[in-house]
Amino acid sequence: MRLSKEDKARNRDNIVESAGRMFRTRGVDGVGIADLMKSAGLTHGGFYNHFPSKDALAAEVCRASFERTLGRLAAAFDGSDGSRTALKHLLDDYLSAEHRDAPDGGCPSASLVVDAWRQDDQIQEAYAEGVEGYLTTLAAEFSREATRGGEELDPAEARDRAVRLLSGMVGAMVLARAVGRVAPSLSDEILDAGRRR
Amino acid sequence: MRLSKEDKARNRDNIVESAGRMFRTRGVDGVGIADLMKSAGLTHGGFYNHFPSKDALAAEVCRASFERTLGRLAAAFDGSDGSRTALKHLLDDYLSAEHRDAPDGGCPSASLVVDAWRQDDQIQEAYAEGVEGYLTTLAAEFSREATRGGEELDPAEARDRAVRLLSGMVGAMVLARAVGRVAPSLSDEILDAGRRR
DNA sequence: TGTACATCAGTGAACGCGCGTTCACTGATGTAC
DNA sequence: TGTACATCAGTGAACGCGCGTTCACTGATGTAC
């Protein structure tokens, strides 16, 4: 029962979408092909009509996740009204209990960081591109806010701050998740301290 | 061929030691019982004479790794000569290329952070205790340095700084590792920016 | 536009492999007398 | 202190399971004429 091109494309999107949610929650190793195809409403055998391997899917998922969150980030910066800096707003959203407890729709920098380290290079490639995108966007916003405040900001310094901000956010998030089930108050404390940055 | 108690204890120590190195490098899921027993000079069947399960070993490894690195940290703080703050020295050591490239002897906060998140609660328990130990030690050193400098430091503020320092270090390290193979210069940049903190 | 045929997305069984765990066995160690 | 027996650490085969991947098959879609 061959499907139309539109149906096939929709199925492919569904696979990437649900794999994206599952990989971010359980890690690439924590989700089987059968799991993820079932969650997309299909059976496991058809997987290879869409992707050459699980690693290739993971790389695509990484790309797609970064693309979406980067888009949201850029939109938030563009729509910023200046009453409160957009970067402060980002920090509060990022280091929230909601984000910690729902990795599936959240930032791939934090949820896929170890998969990028330990899995295939394809995934690391997509991950590194995503991180670079984040840094560029963050550095631009640092510069924009400085300019708006009438200050001068060396581009290298803006970049430096972007790197430290991302490191701090990712570190706080992975730590908060790593103690979340057994030490919830420590986990909250880590998020709180990060927000007071 | 039953072994003496001393031999058995030595074997057990060897297992914890080599599992510690392997888990930190490849993750708990990345190392099989057979692998790790072989690396300790034994065959896989004997594993269960020492540990009730792989998760139990992982928790023990987590405890042992934190204990050792915490001991080193405390010793470094005690032996500090004050010519350069001990915390600055820690930051330089921690965010070095050597530490990034050799996770096996390094800080478990960074290398086991995702295992603590996604694996069994036993591991998370040991991990959370280790993090708590780090934070206590770091906060005490913040207070000590402030006192030495003739300043007043609110304990809550010292603790806050400790949390942010650890988040920043762990975040920079996991990010640097996550892009290290495909984007070595970005990886170096992340470590450099963290050290300039 | 209609027809005949090739293509190919999805299905579900199967393959081969590695994993965590169990088990019967061996023989040196520890212990009761 | 010496002896006889129980204990138990290590060995390596085996078990059961789930995984990534392959494959023969089905039948609707796409296409050549």
How far apart CA B60 and CA A10 sit, in angstroms, is 46
Amino acid at B126: A
What is the Cα–Cα distance from A170 to B171, expressed in whole angstroms?
A: 5
The pLDDT profile of chain A, 197 residues, written as one tens digit per residue, is 799 999 999 999 999 999 999 999 999 999 999 999 999 999 999 999 999 999 999 999 999 999 999 999 999 998 887 656 889 999 999 999 999 999 999 999 999 999 999 999 999 999 999 999 999 999 999 999 999 889 999 999 999 999 999 999 999 999 999 999 999 999 999 999 999 98
Q: Taking each helix axis from N to C terminus, what angle separates A121-148 and B184-195, rounded to the nearest 10 degrees?
A: 50
Give pLDDT tens digits for B115-163. 999 999 999 999 999 999 999 999 999 999 999 889 999 999 999 999 9
Identify the CA nearest to B169 among candidates B102, B96, B103.
B96
Contact A167 B172 (CB under 8 A): yes
A24: which residues sit within 8 A by CB, 6+ positions away?
Answer: A65, A103, A104, A105, A106, A108, A111, A112
d(CA B139, CA B69): 16
In the stretch 122-161 of chain B, residues with CB closer than 8 A to chain A read 124-125, 127-128, 131-132, 159-160
Q: State whether residue A102 sits within 8 Å of chain B by CB.
A: no
pLDDT at residue A82, rounded to an integer: 67
3-state secondary structure B5-40: HHHHHHHHHHHHHHHHHHHHHHCCCCCCHHHHHHHC
Q: How far is the C-alpha of B114 from the C-alpha of A190, rounded, in Å?
A: 16
List, for residues B49-96, the tens digit of each pLDDT value. Answer: 999 999 999 999 999 999 999 999 999 998 887 656 889 999 999 999
Mutation target among B114, B165, B185 for the A interface, most CBs of A within 10 A? B114
Q: Which of A113, A114, A115, A124 would best serve as a mutation to test chain B binding (most B beta carbons within 10 A)?
A: A114
Alpha-carbon dihedral B51, A186, A175, A161, rounded to 10 degrees: -160
CA distances from A96 to A84, A137, B121, B162 (A): 17, 21, 22, 19
